[in-house]
Chain A
Amino acid sequence: MACNLINKKITKQLILYFILLALWQILVSLKIWPQYLLPSPAKVCATLAEGFKNHTFLIGIMISFKRLLIGFGISIFCGAALGVFLLKYKIIDEALSGLILGLQTLPSICWFPLAIIWFNLSEWAIIFVIIAGSLFSITMATSTAFKNVPPIYIKAGRNMGARGVTLLRKVIIPAAIPSLLIGLRQSWSFAWRSLMAGELLFNSLGLGYLLYMGRELNDMSMVLAVMLVIAAISITIDRWIFGELEAKIRLKYGL
């Protein structure tokens, strides 16, 4: 029964996408715009296939993910540490919370000039932009997640003999997990967007640069193909990794 419903939903979606493709094809056939401004779906598909066949896309993805792993990894580590630090020292928290919020809402493009002056047009400039784009979001998420742990869990844990690190590991962290995960998901999307922007900076290889190259070559089908790849990766990670994880946790915690 449930399987049937899911099948129905998928069929509906497929039909919808098919209609969109058809509309696109019709628009192209009407020849309102020249092919180099609006290539046909078939042409984009061919570019997509070619890109995967000659490994440019795969190499781009790998280069991008290496940066992401380093940058987001540093963000998680330092951002969480800063968040915990703010939790411990309330005075600093009160003094800095406005600044951190401001830095978190700063669009990542604003970090470019600074990144280039400090790191030139290097690998580290891009990684720096990823870090700057996501670290403060992690900090905020960490500190709110721990602040919002219901005191009754801590009270119950202490009453049963949990203290210090044990209390942290067995009670406080598990209690904070759902909200930490939401923060991680959001920070990931900041990191991912910063990465794409950062890779447009210069001849950096990576996915963002493939987009840039498409523009340089005036190759619209290349631009569209790379955009599709980027969107597919965004959806896969957000929906299928974070989304599934969140659903599992929500089910378990009864949220």
Chain B
Amino acid sequence: MPILKVDIKSKSFLVDRVNLVVLENINFQIEKGEFLCVIGPSGCGKTTLLNIIAGLDLSYEGYVLHQEQLIKGSDAHRLLIFQEMGLFPWLTVKENIEFGLKLKRMDKKEIENISSKYLEMVNLAKFKNSFIHELSGGMKQRVALARALAMNPDILLMDEPFSSLDAQARDILHSELQKIWAVTKKTIIFITHNVREAVCLGDRILVLSSAPGARVKATFSVNLPRPRQIESDGVIENVKLIKKVLDSEIEKYYGMQFNK
């Protein structure tokens, strides 16, 4: 049974009294523990799609089911990680990670245990009392990851989380994220506009067409062994194949499989 079923007939925004259709017939499912990457040109509606899955945006036609339940609002079962972080600058690293746990009115001891566990997991134990602005971009994203994981969500929704990082920090986070995914067995939806990143991380890649009226243009499976590195031959080969398919009109390759 898939953990998430997405069937969005259409999603539009009212801009200057004109109905702007952003998403159209977005239809896919995701299995528990799967790492799904979504790629698409900027402005095609990727963030909008994640907002809908998170439950922050409910004004669309169609449905999104989380474990067969219609999503009726935002809750900590599906947590967002943003490109622009969304960490709170008035709180320390540790307080950021504990923010959601405190809202749940958990036991103090338990909160402490959880936050130190995830601080360890993202290698930031030494920085637990730092303020956010004292950290590098890569460290901030690790705090965001720890803050999300601490809430023990079913699904992590990552919205171009590494796109503002330098290549080196991004490489490190690619390997850390794969490790964390292997340990926590979370379901992840990872948005990027970088095909290489998608191939490096995803079990499956969903390609959206450009706006307006973005649809799922193609899906690819990536069966490379893990952990993967972004400059490995396997990744580069798959990227070439995908790009070729995307460039040379596509629809007929829908659902094509790639095996190393």
Residues of A within 8 A of B (CB): 152-153, 155-156, 158-162, 166, 170-171, 174-175, 177, 252-254
Structural contact, A161 and B90, CB atoms closer than 8 A: no
B54 within 8 A of A: yes
Question: Which residues on B sit within 8 Å (CB–CB) of A155?
Answer: 56, 80, 82, 86
Q: Tell me which of A152, A160, A170, A254 contacts B79 (CB under 8 A).
A: A160
| Contact A159-B74, Cβ < 8 Å, known A153-B88, A253-B133 | yes
Question: Which residues on A sit within 8 Å (CB–CB) of B181?
Answer: none
Q: Which of A158, A161, A170, A171 has the most CB of B within 10 A?
A: A161
Tell me, rounded to whole Å, the shortest Cβ–Cβ distance linking A157 to chain B.
Answer: 8
B84 within 8 A of A: yes
A-B residue pairs in contact (CB < 8 Å), sample of 28: A152-B82, A152-B84, A153-B86, A153-B88, A155-B56, A155-B82, A156-B80, A156-B82, A156-B86, A159-B54, A159-B56, A159-B80, A160-B103, A161-B76, A161-B100, A161-B103, A161-B104, A170-B99, A174-B88, A174-B90, A175-B90, A252-B89, A252-B90, A253-B90, A254-B89, A254-B132, A254-B133, A254-B134
Question: Which residues on B sit within 8 Å (CB–CB) of A152?
Answer: 82, 84-86
Nearest to A249 among chain B residues (CB) is B90
Q: Which of B54, B74, B79, B104 has the most CB of A within 10 A?
A: B74
**Within the assembled complex, what's the spacing in Å between the Cα atoms of A253 and B132?**
8
Structural contact, A158 and B74, CB atoms closer than 8 A: yes
Q: Fill in one digit per residue for B135-158: 1 if any A CB lies within 8 Å of its CB, else 0.
A: 000000000000100010000000
**Within the assembled complex, what's the spacing in Å between the Cα atoms of A177 and B90?**
9
Question: Which residues on B sit within 8 Å (CB–CB) of A177?
Answer: 90
**Within the assembled complex, what's the spacing in Å between the Cα atoms of A170 and B80?**
18
Size category of the binding interface on chain B = 20 to 34
| Contact A166-B80, Cβ < 8 Å, known A158-B56, A252-B131 | no
**Within the assembled complex, what's the spacing in Å between the Cα atoms of A175 and B85?**
15
Residues of B within 8 A of A (CB): 54, 56, 74-76, 79-80, 82, 84-90, 99-100, 103-104, 131-134, 147, 151
Tell me, rounded to whole Å, the shortest Cβ–Cβ distance linking B146 to chain A.
Answer: 13
**Within the assembled complex, what's the spacing in Å between the Cα atoms of A153 and B88?**
7
**Within the assembled complex, what's the spacing in Å between the Cα atoms of A254 and B93?**
13
**Within the assembled complex, what's the spacing in Å between the Cα atoms of A160 and B74?**
8
Tell me, rounded to whole Å, the shortest Cβ–Cβ distance linking A162 to chain B.
Answer: 6
**Within the assembled complex, what's the spacing in Å between the Cα atoms of A57 and B82?**
57
Nearest to A173 among chain B residues (CB) is B90
Nearest to B87 among chain A residues (CB) is A156
**Within the assembled complex, what's the spacing in Å between the Cα atoms of A252 and B76?**
28
**Within the assembled complex, what's the spacing in Å between the Cα atoms of A153 and B151?**
17
